Structure formats: C-alpha cells, structure tokens
C-alpha cells in the first residue's frame, strides 16, 4: 500500500474516536474544519456518525472521503457567494452528482402538451381576494415529511401529499396514505421506482375506488405486487378526479394553492438543490422537469423581500428546512423557478 494511502487509512481509522454528539452548525461545518487535512477527516467522521453511514471497505471509505471533500468545496464556495439561501453537509454529501441524480429523482418525462380542455375551478378568482400567505401545514392538511429513499417514486409522494391535503380539508381528518399502493398498482403510464407522473396516479385513485392508508399498505422502497389483501384492511380515501393548473401561469398556481396543496414538478437535479439547507432558494436550475413534489403554501420573507412557494420534498426531514424548501416566486419567467409553474395539478374531492 502506498505511504500516502496508508496514512489516510490510519487517520480515517483513528477518526472514529471523534465525539459522536458534536454540535454541528446549520451548514454542518465551520471555518476551522477547512483548515487542515486532519480537520477534514475529523469532520468526515462526525458526519458519518451523524448520518449513521458505514462502508463495506476502507477503499470505499477513502473514495467517499474524496467525494465528500469535493462536495464540501462546492458548498463552501456557494455559501461565500450567495446570501438568500445556503447549502449544507446533508446525508447526500458522500454522493457524486451523477449518483444523486440516478437515485433520488423519478419523474417520467412529461408529455409535450397536456389537454387544455380540462377545467380549472379557480380560474375566475380575483388575485385581490387571495390571502397574502398560506401554509397548509398550519391548517392541519400536511402529514409528516416522508422519505422515498433510493427509489424513483417521487411522483407517488407528490400525488399522496396532494390527496392527503384535499382529504383533510374536506373531511377534517388528516390521514397518511400509501405511496406503495401507487407504486404497485398505478401502472397505467407509471413505472414504479423507475418514474411516473402525478396525473396518471390521480386517475388511478379516482377510478379504483380510492387510496388506502400508509399503515395498511406501508412503504417498501421497492416495487411489490398489487395486493388486494393489504388493500382490504382499511378504508380507502377517494377523490372525484383531478384538474391541471394552466401551464406557465404563476398566478393560477397561487390561486389553486390558496385552496389546497398542489402537486408540482420541478428540475431538482442541480448540485445546489442537492445540498440545499435553508433560505429562499433562487439558485441555478433549468426547467427540465425530473422530480415530483408538493406545494403546500406560499408567503414572503419580509426581511429580504423575497416571495416564495413552500414545497414539501420526499427526501426525509434531514434535507432542507426539515424536509421543505422555500422556492422563490415572481422570477419573471413563465415556467417559474426550476419549472415549478409548468406541470401543476391537484385532486378534486366532492365529499
């Protein structure tokens, strides 16, 4: 083994003695951590303990350490340049950008155009009549943040969040529903862990009699069989259908969002998005939709004057602002930041 490699292995072995309960800053590192190779190794060991990571071999650990250092360099560079949001050493810090994109997205390419004949029930509302801010979390219409893991099932989590929302608004009962049922059973246009679209999932729920609870049909992070036994164990939450928000119309999205949580699609494959930890995000991203999420409110950062949409992600509560991201609105672009205005839709429920 080369001397340099031996020293690095020894340091990584020794580093495990670092206190596991270290108090991390909001971004997960301090200036001092960047001052030497030894401090970087200590930081890596703290990060491993915090996220309960382990590797099969020292070679793999060394490789991940190099990836970690590269990601930390980017994170620190951006945090020195940007003031509206910040990046941090979250659980994705040992993944290359390509690994992250392959594992944690999952929106199938949307059709070139969606039907324009579908009605939009909020069309005639006046913008002046809309509340200045809405947060469906505070109104009891949003369940805890969930984690899709390494399964491209974001489309199912986006769909479920919107259905959980309208069900709570109409019935007064907030019930966690099953993403796994959609992965297993909503196969007309959807491909389980290999991607899907929210509109197809809404169609499945409306036509199949409803969606069952998460407790009765729990998440597996992999594709399973569509089990009637599981489905018969609990009441199903039904919807009457769904409607599309007019594309590239931010005011239309806000109109819908003032009344219920909305499924939206975004481009989430950028490195800034991967490491987002807080603030009003206005970072670099295109409008190539690759991730399904749920808009659950909107508001303004009164201190900095940034208007934003509150987005619930499905990467667990350790990512972003406890699993959420505030995305800037009012960008002047029809598609919105990261394409958020391009493909929004919501379920309808009559009773």
- Please give the positions annotated as active site: 154, 291, 313
- Per-residue DSSP letter, 347: E
Report phi then psi at 69, rounded to 5: -60, -40
| β pairing state of 262-266 and 276-281 | unpaired
C-alpha to C-alpha distance for 348 and 351, rounded to whole angstroms:
9
Alpha helix (H) ranges present in the chain?
3-14, 37-50, 58-81, 97-104, 154-171, 179-185, 198-208, 228-231, 250-257, 271-274
Distance, first Cα to last Cα, the chain: 69
Pair of tokens at residue 285: 């991203």
Residue pair 264/293 in contact by the 8 Å Cβ criterion: yes
User: For the chain, what percentages of helix, strand and coil (3-state, to nearest 5) are there?
Assistant: 35, 15, 50
- Give the Cβ contact number of residue 5 at 10 Å: 12
Give one DSSP letter per residue of 22-38, joined into a string: ----TTS--GGGGS-HH
**39: nearest Cα among 48, 30, 26, 27:** 30
C-alpha to C-alpha distance for 8 and 81, rounded to whole angstroms:
31
Torsion from C-alpha of 327, 322, 179, 283, nearest 10 degrees: 30
Residue with tokens 């049922």: 181
């Amino acid at each position: 083994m080369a001397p340099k490699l031996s020293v690095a292995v020894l340091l990584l072995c020794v580093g495990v003695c670092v206190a596991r309960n270290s108090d991390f800053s909001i971004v997960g590192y301090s200036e001092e951590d960047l001052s030497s190779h030894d401090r970087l190794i200590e930081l890596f060991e703290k990060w491993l303990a915090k996220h309960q990571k382990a590797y099969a071999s020292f070679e793999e650990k060394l490789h991940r350490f190099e990836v970690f250092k590269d990601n930390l360099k980017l994170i620190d560079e951006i945090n020195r340049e940007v003031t509206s949001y910040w990046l941090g050493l979250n659980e994705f810090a040992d993944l290359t950008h390509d690994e992250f994109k392959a594992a944690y997205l999952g929106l199938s390419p949307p059709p070139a155009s969606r039907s324009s004949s579908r009605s939009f029930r909020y069309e005639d509302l006046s913008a002046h009549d809309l509340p200045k801010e809405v947060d469906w979390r505070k109104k009891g219409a949003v369940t805890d943040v969930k984690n899709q893991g390494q399964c491209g099932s974001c489309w199912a989590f986006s769909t479920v969040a919107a259905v959980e929302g309208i069900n709570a608004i109409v019935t007064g009962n907030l019930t966690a529903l099953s993403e796994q049922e959609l992965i297993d059973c909503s196969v007309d246009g959807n491909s389980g862990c290999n991607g899907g679209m929210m509109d197809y999932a809404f169609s499945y729920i409306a036509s199949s009699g409803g969606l069952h609870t998460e407790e009765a049909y729990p998440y597996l992070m992999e594709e399973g069989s569509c089990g009637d036994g599981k489905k018969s164990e609990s009441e199903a939450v039904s919807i009457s259908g769904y409607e599309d928000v007019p594309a590239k119309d931010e005011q239309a999205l806000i109109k819908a969002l003032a009344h219920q949580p909305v499924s939206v699609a975004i481009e989430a494959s950028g490195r800034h998005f991967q490491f987002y930890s807080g603030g009003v995000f206005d970072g670099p991203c295109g409008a190539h939709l690759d991730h399904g999420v749920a808009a659950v409110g909107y508001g303004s950062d009164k201190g900095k004057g940034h208007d934003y949409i509150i987005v619930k992600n499905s990467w667990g509560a350790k990512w972003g602002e406890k699993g959420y991201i505030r995305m800037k609105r009012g960008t002047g672009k029809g598609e919105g930041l990261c394409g958020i205005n391009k493909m929004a839709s919501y379920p309808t429920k009559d009773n």
